[in-house]
Amino acid sequence: MRETKIEALAKEPRTAGRGPGAKTRALVIGPYLNEKAVRPGVKSLSPDGRRRSPEARLEEAHGLAGAIDLDIIASKLVTLANIRPATFLGKGKVEEIADLIRAEEIDLVIMDCALSPVQQRNLEKAFSAKVIDRTGLILEIFGRRARTREGALQVELAHLAYQKSRLVRSWTHLERQRGGFGFLGGPGETQIETDRRLIQERMTKIERELEGVKRTRGLHRKSRTAVPYPIVALVGYTNAGKSTLFNRLTKAEVLAEDMLFATLDPTLRAVVLEHGGEIILSDTVGFISDLPTMLVSAFRATLEEVLEADLILHVRDIAHEDAEAQLGDVEAILGDLGVDPNDHRRLLEVWNKADLLDEDSLAAARGSAKRRRAQSGDNGRPVIVSALTGQGLDELREEIESRLAVGRPVLEIVLKPDNGEGLHWLYENAEVMRKSVAADGAVHVRVRVAPERAAALRRKFLEPAAASA
């Protein structure tokens, strides 16, 4: 049995000492129900029923923890027969982990699950260490990755929603009463009520700011629509290689690392395709299993780039052992956003990281792609690529161009030498693919035009009255 990445990392030697610059020492726990214990309402499958391997889930949790620069001392897989209401884990397992924490001087325990506030508090007491769950970890990563004002606001909104959900009666130290000054609430308001109200006030303020951002985005989107270049959006599971592919296609330098959530804020770039067509390519935040609801909601404005896209490239890490389960997660989130994952005319699967496949696996992937084509037609056929080596990218560019050409006729327009107004109109309302000037001064322009502008273009340039003008 091959050694997993997490086992290899756990065996790395650790330097002694806890100096001022030392990293936080962390332990990652993967507490997963065994198959027989899985019951309705408990997530162990992807949304479409594809089962996840516990080892792959723990390795992903290890990667998440590594994304915030922790010193991960060990990752531990815990198989559960049932979930304990008070501590999530059984008593014996809690004591075993507590001994490990004391022996290794662990500062932080990351539980790859959703903990209730009571469970979190009880585990912190038993472990004498800080405990966070999967949602808290993802929020921390997002907080560190946000590079724009919008991203920071969205993360803060999600974090406040999470904090608000943590304010429960079990936190007895919050139950003390305080007198009110009117603007802080009525007399006798408890501390927990004050905390909840202050959080809600801040959330309301952020939501207003994000509405302004949304309006600005809408204006930018409207201006992009006026310049008729198709929008192509990249989506996919986190660390599937979207940013590497984005950099390959655009020759840009977006942060692209072997790291979960390397990209958080959306990035837009213009790309010229093989036959002169131009597109706007958008890179978006990666998706992940069990993505907290408040994060999907908070990042909806960012993900609206996906909703407005003419073509969506679903980038998949085809070499990942949980590739099928990841597919189910991405399709579920796309569905939540209002995108039909089965609309193959609008959604193109890009099977990335082909360079990590051996010959047999690559041949199997190609066979699977051919079968998909036979079942769904040309539009259902995935494109196999390696964004790292460039393998398959020419085929991908051709497929993008072919998909976008559907319903967008290519027309040849001839303008008189002095028809500058007509040339300006073409640049404003169509995609100019090629322009040349003949010996007699006539300007020959090849354009691709969106269906909604085709009739106006024909009236202006191709009908007899217009041609003789």
List the CATH number of the domain containing 87. Answer: 3.40.50.11060
Please give the backbone phi and psi of residue 351, each rounded to the nearest 5 degrees, phi first. Answer: -85, 100
Question: Structure pTM?
Answer: 0.73
Distance (Å, rounded) from C-alpha 28 to C-alpha 22?
18
The answer on whether 262 is annotated among ligand-binding residues is yes
| Boundary-marking domain end, from 210, 240, 261 | 210
Q: Which residues pair with 76 in a beta bridge?
A: 29
The answer on whether 271 is annotated among ligand-binding residues is no
The answer on whether 352 is annotated among ligand-binding residues is yes
Cβ atoms within 10 Å of 185's Cβ, excluding its own: 16
Q: Are residues 242 and 381 in the same domain?
A: yes
Q: Are residues 268 and 399 in the same domain?
A: yes
Integer CA distances (angstroms), 150 to 143, 146, 161, in order: 12, 8, 17
Q: State the average pLDDT over residues 386-415.
A: 90
Report the candidate in 380, 232, 377, 255 with the shortest Cα–Cα distance to residue 306.
Answer: 232
The answer on whether 386 is annotated among ligand-binding residues is yes
CATH code, domain with 252: 3.40.50.300
The answer on whether 236 is annotated among ligand-binding residues is yes
Please give the backbone phi and psi of residue 379, each rounded to the nearest 5 degrees, phi first. Answer: -70, -20
| Boundary-marking domain end, from 405, 426, 451 | 405
Q: Are residues 397 and 291 in the same domain?
A: yes
Q: Are residues 195 and 274 in the same domain?
A: no
Q: Are residues 398 and 415 in the same domain?
A: no
Judge whether 28 lies within some domain.
yes
**Mean pLDDT for all residues in the chain:** 80
CATH code, domain with 460: 3.30.70
Q: Are residues 320 and 239 in the same domain?
A: yes
The answer on whether 389 is annotated among ligand-binding residues is no
- State which amino acid sits at residue 388: L
Out of 53-62, 367-376, 441-450, pick the least confident: 367-376
The answer on whether 411 is annotated among ligand-binding residues is no
Judge whether 216 lies within some domain.
no
The answer on whether 283 is annotated among ligand-binding residues is yes
The answer on whether 241 is annotated among ligand-binding residues is yes
Residue 62: which H helix or E strand, with range?
A: helix 54-66
Judge whether 218 lies within some domain.
no
Q: What local confidence, expressed as pLDDT, does residue 189 receive?
A: 52
The answer on whether 237 is annotated among ligand-binding residues is yes
The answer on whether 243 is annotated among ligand-binding residues is yes
Distance (Å, rounded) from C-alpha 395 to C-alpha 401?
10
Q: Which two tokens stand for residue 287?
A: 């998706």
The answer on whether 238 is annotated among ligand-binding residues is yes
Q: What is the CA 79 to chain-centroid distance, rounded?
A: 29
Domain that holds residue 110: 5-14+21-135
Indicate if the pLDDT at residue 39 is higher than 60.
Answer: no
Q: Are residues 445 and 351 in the same domain?
A: no
Asked whether the beta carbons of 194 and 185 are under 8 A apart, the reply is: yes
Indicate if the pLDDT at residue 178 is higher than 60.
Answer: no
Q: Are residues 53 and 150 in the same domain?
A: no
Judge whether 141 lies within some domain.
no
The answer on whether 263 is annotated among ligand-binding residues is yes
Q: State the average pLDDT over residues 442-451.
A: 89
The answer on whether 265 is annotated among ligand-binding residues is yes
Q: What local confidence, expressed as pLDDT, does residue 291 receive?
A: 72
The answer on whether 232 is annotated among ligand-binding residues is no
The model's confidence at residue 1, banded by pLDDT at 50, 70 and 90, is very low
Q: In what order do the strands lie in the sheet with 347-352?
A: 267-272, 278-283, 231-236, 311-317, 347-352, 383-384
Asked whether the beta carbons of 78 and 95 are under 8 A apart, the reply is: no
Distance (Å, rounded) from C-alpha 444 to C-alpha 430?
14
Judge whether 364 lies within some domain.
yes
Say how many domains are in the chain.
4
Selected residue with higher pLDDT from 180 and 432: 432
| Boundary-marking domain end, from 405, 420, 446 | 405
Q: Are residues 92 and 198 in the same domain?
A: no
Out of 3-7, 187-191, 326-330, 369-373, pick the least confident: 3-7
The answer on whether 368 is annotated among ligand-binding residues is no
Indicate if the pLDDT at residue 75 is higher than 70.
Answer: yes
Indicate if the pLDDT at residue 29 is higher than 80.
Answer: yes
Judge whether 366 lies within some domain.
yes
Q: Which two tokens stand for residue 58?
A: 């723990």
Q: Interhelix angle for 149-166 vs 134-145, to 10°?
A: 160
Please list, in sequence order, all residues whose beta carbon lies within 8 angstroms of the beta carbon of residue 281, skipping any fewer than 6 positions away.
232, 233, 234, 246, 249, 250, 268, 269, 270, 271
Strand residue runs (E) in 223-289: 231-236, 267-272, 278-283
Distance (Å, rounded) from C-alpha 142 to C-alpha 64?
11
Q: Are residues 319 and 374 in the same domain?
A: yes
The answer on whether 183 is annotated among ligand-binding residues is no
Q: Are residues 281 and 155 in the same domain?
A: no
The model's confidence at residue 47, banded by pLDDT at 50, 70 and 90, is very low
Where do we find the tokens 């309402």? Answer: 41
The answer on whether 225 is annotated among ligand-binding residues is no
Q: What local confidence, expressed as pLDDT, does residue 50 receive?
A: 55
Integer CA distances (angstroms), 155 to 141, 143, 201, 298, in order: 10, 6, 16, 7
Q: Are residues 243 and 338 in the same domain?
A: yes
Q: Which two tokens stand for residue 116?
A: 């209730």
